[in-house]
Each structure stands twice: as C-alpha cells, then as structure tokens.
Amino acid sequence: MKVAILTNNQSSFIQPMAFGLKRMLARIGVEGQVFPLGLAMLDYSAFNRVQTGFNNMFKSTLSLTHGGRYQRRQNVSWSEVKQFEGCLDKFDLIVVVSNIPDAFIAKRLNRIEKIRNKLTVPIVSYQNYYLGTRGRWSSLIKDTVNYGGGFGLERYDWYLSASMVSEYPLSKQPHPCSLIGHDLKDANLFIPQGKRFKVLLDFNRKGFEAFRQLQIRALQETNTEYVQLTGRYSISEIRRMYRDCGAFFTSFRESFGLPLVENQLCGNYIFLPYRSWAPSHYINKSLFESGQGDLGRNFIIYDNELCKLKALIRQCRENYYPEQNLANFQAEYPALYKGDLTQLRAFVNKVEVGAITGQSHRLHGALNSGIVY
C-alpha cells in the first residue's frame, strides 16, 4: 500500500503530524509520501490564487513593522496542481492533515470534491481531534456568515485522530474514526543532560491578559527564572526552547495543543489554571459521557489562585526530575508518546479489504444529527 500524506510547508502543528504519521506507517510496513504543498494544492482555485497573492503582499508589508508576525500562505500554479493531481492515482489512500475548521469549510481544500470525481481511493482526514466530540463546531462550520458554509462528517471517508475525548459525549452509533494518536518524538524532542527548572510562558493571547499577569507575579515572587514566547519561530527553534525549560505555562484554553505533548516529551510540567483548559487530554473518562475528566500527573492545576500557584512552582522546582515526567507521559498517554500502531494497522486493513472506500463518506452524514452541542 502507498499513502499520500498532504500537509503544508509552514512552521505549524500540521507538518509534525504529517511526518509523524509517515513514521508510524513505516513501522507497520506501509509506504507513506509527504507532500509539503498538498494543502495548497487542495486550496487552489482561480479566486483563491488571486486572493492569496494579494494577502501575501499585504502581510509582507505589515511584517516590516510587526516583526514578521504574519504567516505567508503558499501559492501554487494551475500547472503544478494538474501535475500533483496526476500523480495521486499512484496511491491507494490519500490522507489530508488539517484541523477544524479548515478541514470542513467549503471554500478551503475545495479540490477534495473534484479529486473524488477522478479517483476511487479513500480520502481520509487526520486531525488532533474528532468533529463528533467538538460540540458547537459542527454547527459553526456550516454558518454561512462567518465561514461561508461547510461540511459535517460526510466530507471524508474516514477519520484518524490523536484524541477523541472532550467535555462533549460521543453518540453511541459506530463512528468512522480510528484513535491513532501521534508520533512527534523526533531528534528535536529529548531531555538534555543537566537540565534545570525554568519556565516557558506561551504566547500572549488577547482577552487572557489577567491570567498571564497572575502567572508572572507568581514567578517573580518565587524568584523563578522564566522566558516568554514572542514573535515567530521555526519548529526547531521553538523545540529548543522546550528542551531548555522545565515547565510550560499555557496562556489560554487549548483545543488540543501540540505544545502540551511536545513539552512532556522534553520532561516538562504543564501548568494550567483549570482542568477545562486541556479537554483533549482527559484520561479515565468515557467517550460517551459529558463533563470533565482527570489529567495526567504532569499537568499542574492551580485553580487560578496566586498562593496555590506559588506553592506549586516551589514544589515542582524542588522536585524536578524530567526523566520521571517523561515516564509519566509514556504511561498515561501511550498513544501520544509514539502512536497507537494497533489502531493504525486495523485502519489500514479496512482499506486493504475494501471496508473503507472512496464512497464511504456518503454513509457518515447521518451521524451529524447525533453531535451534542
């Protein structure tokens, strides 16, 4: 079997997921090829090409005064799109690595439906989470005012997910989703020798300034060294900062949050004001029940209280053993440590025997009505 893995060429969470999937497939004897411009190819239309060119010029101008905060979107030509689509018939499976909402908006990845008319192979989504447990996103995506309309579970023939859990329950019908986790552990994510405790603050988020002020006050009053993320970084640069620190402070509620995984792979603690800020990382919770679940031992919850946060900072600093944190992560989140090959192999077998085809997406629309908002 040959698998085409469509991703982007940006410094974001999507590319590490794509190359991690390739590593997982290789471990079960399946050949995967990553296309770094795959999402740009799916995004192509005459209108999008003109709009992207204009937006990139605008962003380049802004970057002169804003330190390059704005990320350019890759533009491709029609001839490149035709060449790309022409080579897809050599593959037995197409995997689109993208997250909510882009994976479902009608005006994004719009060539998915056109490719279906030419090929018979399954087109599968690989995301950090699963639309069936994402609550209001299912209805927001179809909002023509904000997103221009979109799809539900009927867009893809199957779903591969790193996590399915959240506060929202999964309906009890059979769902077209395989929980395969992640394999992010590459040469950039490790525990360096002589690592010491230092705190890394996530990027500031508008509307969450009060949370950040409390964090900084606690760090200053405990004489704890810290550094704050600002501007833009390459994947290797930001992972070097993860290796250099012993704790990561979130700045807002994460839908999934690859940094929560990557920091733990470097032996770090994750500080959160509330459990609800990491819903995709709940453990010991049924998929079919609503509400919150537990978090692993590396998650430090301080209830947004200054005194409690100061006490926990001192405790973690004085008892910092990065190797133990890594062992905790491996034990409590095995599918996020190096992926779930059993689930991945079962999915591949379904494709090989024809249980998942290029027409399977037609069966999934009925599941949309069971999504709890």
Instruction: State residue 161's pLDDT score.
Output: 98
Instruction: State residue 65's pLDDT score.
Output: 31
Q: What phi, psi does 323 have (nearest 5°)?
A: -65, -35
- What is the number of residues in the chain? 373
User: pLDDT, tens digit, for every residue of 259-289?
Assistant: 999 999 999 999 999 999 999 999 999 999 9
Confidence bin at 49 (pLDDT 50/70/90): low
Q: Tell me how crowded residue 62 is: count the other CB atoms within 10 A of its CB.
A: 13
User: pLDDT, tens digit, for every residue of 92-133?
Assistant: 999 999 999 999 999 999 999 999 999 999 999 999 999 999
CA distance 181 to 151: 24
The one-letter amino acid code at 171 reads S
Does 57 have pLDDT greater than 90? no
Instruction: State residue 60's pLDDT score.
Output: 39
Structural domains in the chain, sorted by start: 2-183+339-370 (3.40.50), 199-336 (3.40.50)
Cα Rg, the chain, nearest whole Å? 21
Instruction: State residue 10's pLDDT score.
Output: 87
DSSP for residue 172: S
Instruction: State residue 7's pLDDT score.
Output: 97
Confidence bin at 73 (pLDDT 50/70/90): low
The pTM for the full model equals 0.91
CA distance 8 to 36: 5
Cβ atoms of residues 251 and 272 within 8 Å: no
Task: List 271's β-bridge partners, or say none.
Answer: 249, 300
Q: Chain-wide mean pLDDT for the chain?
A: 92
Task: List 161's β-bridge partners, or say none.
Answer: 127, 179
- Percent of the chain residues topping a pLDDT of 70: 92
The DSSP string of 281-307 is G-BS--TTS-S--B--TTEEE-TT-HH
